[in-house]
Structure 1
């Protein structure tokens, strides 16, 4: 397994991260086995959120890693507040809410510190200074080691780069979503802020799902992208590895968070560790398969 320091932190994160959202908390023994195998194969970054399964996802992760807590990096998120009906949620990035929520996450995760605490979204209308103040206080108190945000919005990212000490930004990035390439990735690289990629397989559309419209791409264009991935795969690199290697090629990327629910999915993802990197010709074939898209909103 390859490891990279996450931005300006001392968190040495695995190239492949484990997205916990898909784990089945009704089958805990299976989930524990999957997480244990991931750790045994070098994965040390586990990403969850207080939103997932009304907090039960954090509980599951906390139980699964209890005896290996100091060997792994726990990343969780805050900002989405469930309504009393537990059917929907509101956005709440206030200091009061963040300071209260971290206590609940610590209890559910059965730990006294969170390695990476992330704002689970964000808008330019947020009380950003107040949000940053909450994270900085939690760092001083030792309840979190570092903080970051989960966002693809250029205007939000710009504000946090200017005002905060974020060490990471989680964002969607894949062959079917190259919006971060326009400015965000190079900007974050310049400021030594690590990128945690989600959606590297584009909901499976680059791997095994039937083509459908995705973002601004038609189903036909999605098929073109998937076909390009398939053409650049073979005996030594399957389609999953090709799609993920495309993401890993960008120097701003610290880790790709892959949602894993089954042992089979874990095994397929783990093959990426040993798969050959894409060469220049292969990267060009992938890039030219479909036109690059651009993020038109949230720029100012």
Structure 2
């Protein structure tokens, strides 16, 4: 397992990390799976207070009990659950963030969070106030670093200019090359890391049948899948290509993978063992496939 620096911080994260939202097993199964991931070198675990109304954080906190300082723990804030359970409202205000972190710390059974992220963001937000909250939490020692989870170039630019974010989580894959237009190079230039989600494009780059995705029609996705399949000639190579593609950009520190089973964990780890032909396939796909672009929030 390779480890990459998170932004300008001293934090090192495994190049493949564990997206804990995918945990759906029993308590025993979840704990065993997380421990197995740690044994194989995965050290970055990503959750959010929104996932399963906070229960996901509790699962993660229980699983990581006793090994807190061996891992990098990330969670997110900004979606305030309604008291009646009917949903949630966007709330990036300082007062809410300072209250929400206390609940996350309790659920995660920890005194600090390594990487605390705003779970979204718009230009209408009180961005300066949000940044103040994160900076205060750093001063208090409740978080080590902070960032945002966003695909919006116009919001990302604001945080690059105004804040000390260490990373941005965003969707990026062969089927979603929108970050390649501007955002990846902008973040790389400013030594801000990218944490990739959606690297397999909801499984479309693996074994899921073609369907409409972003600006691609079902037919277009089918054509892309056929092209990938023809070049790879093997499902294991397909997974290697899908995983290696986002990792190829220097700004990307880790691909956050939603792992549900031990089999998925092992296949993901195997996909990291890149064969020589993978680089040539990636270059061919970059050349052959059309690039898509952000149509809004530019």
Q: Taking structure 1 as the reference length, what is the TM-score of the superposition?
A: 0.96
Stretch of structure 1 that moved more, 40-49 or 270-279? 270-279
Q: Indicate if the aligned counterparts of 2:199 and 2:246 stay in contact, CA closer than 8 A.
A: yes
2:146 aligns with 147
Q: Indicate if the aligned counterparts of 1:197 and 1:257 stay in contact, CA closer than 8 A.
A: yes
Aligned residues: 298
2:9 aligns with 9
Q: Indicate if the aligned counterparts of 1:225 and 1:286 stay in contact, CA closer than 8 A.
A: no
2:59 aligns with 60
Query: Which string of whole-angstrom CA distances, capped at 9 and with x for unpartnered residues, describes residues 228-257 of structure 1?
Result: 332343569432221111111111110000
The alpha-carbon deviation at position 51 of structure 1 amounts to 0.2
The alpha-carbon deviation at position 134 of structure 1 amounts to 0.2
Secondary structure, aligned partner of 1:205: coil
The alpha-carbon deviation at position 3 of structure 1 amounts to 0.4
The residue correspondences of 1:262-273 to structure 2 (distance < 5 A) are 262-273=261-272
Secondary structure, aligned partner of 1:17: strand
Root-mean-square deviation (CA, aligned residues, Å) is 1.4
Secondary structure, aligned partner of 1:197: strand
Counterpart CA distance in 1 for 2:42 and 2:134 is: 26
Q: Which runs of 5+ in 1 are unaligned?
A: none
1:171 aligns with 170
Secondary structure, aligned partner of 2:122: coil
Q: Indicate if the aligned counterparts of 1:233 and 1:239 stay in contact, CA closer than 8 A.
A: yes
Q: Which runs of 5+ in 2 are unaligned?
A: none
Counterpart CA distance in 2 for 1:284 and 1:221 is: 20
Counterpart CA distance in 1 for 2:42 and 2:290 is: 33
Query: Which string of whole-angstrom CA distances, capped at 9 and with x for unpartnered residues, describes residues 45-67 of structure 1?
Result: 00000000110100000110112
The residue correspondences of 1:241-260 to structure 2 (distance < 5 A) are 241-260=240-259
Counterpart CA distance in 2 for 1:87 and 1:263 is: 34
The alpha-carbon deviation at position 279 of structure 1 amounts to 5.2
1:215 aligns with 214
The residue correspondences of 1:1-300 to structure 2 (distance < 5 A) are 1-24=1-24, 27-233=26-232, 237-276=236-275, 281-299=280-298
Q: Indicate if the aligned counterparts of 1:49 and 1:78 stay in contact, CA closer than 8 A.
A: yes
The alpha-carbon deviation at position 84 of structure 1 amounts to 2.1
Q: Indicate if the aligned counterparts of 1:106 and 1:114 stay in contact, CA closer than 8 A.
A: yes
Structure 1 residues 103 and 277, CA, compared in 2 at 3 Å: closer, same or farther?
A: farther
Counterpart CA distance in 2 for 1:250 and 1:278 is: 18
Q: Indicate if the aligned counterparts of 1:236 and 1:275 stay in contact, CA closer than 8 A.
A: no
Query: Which string of whole-angstrom CA distances, capped at 9 and with x for unpartnered residues, describes residues 272-291 of structure 1?
Result: 23222665531232124431
Counterpart CA distance in 1 for 2:226 and 2:248 is: 19
Q: Taking structure 2 as the reference length, what is the TM-score of the superposition?
A: 0.96
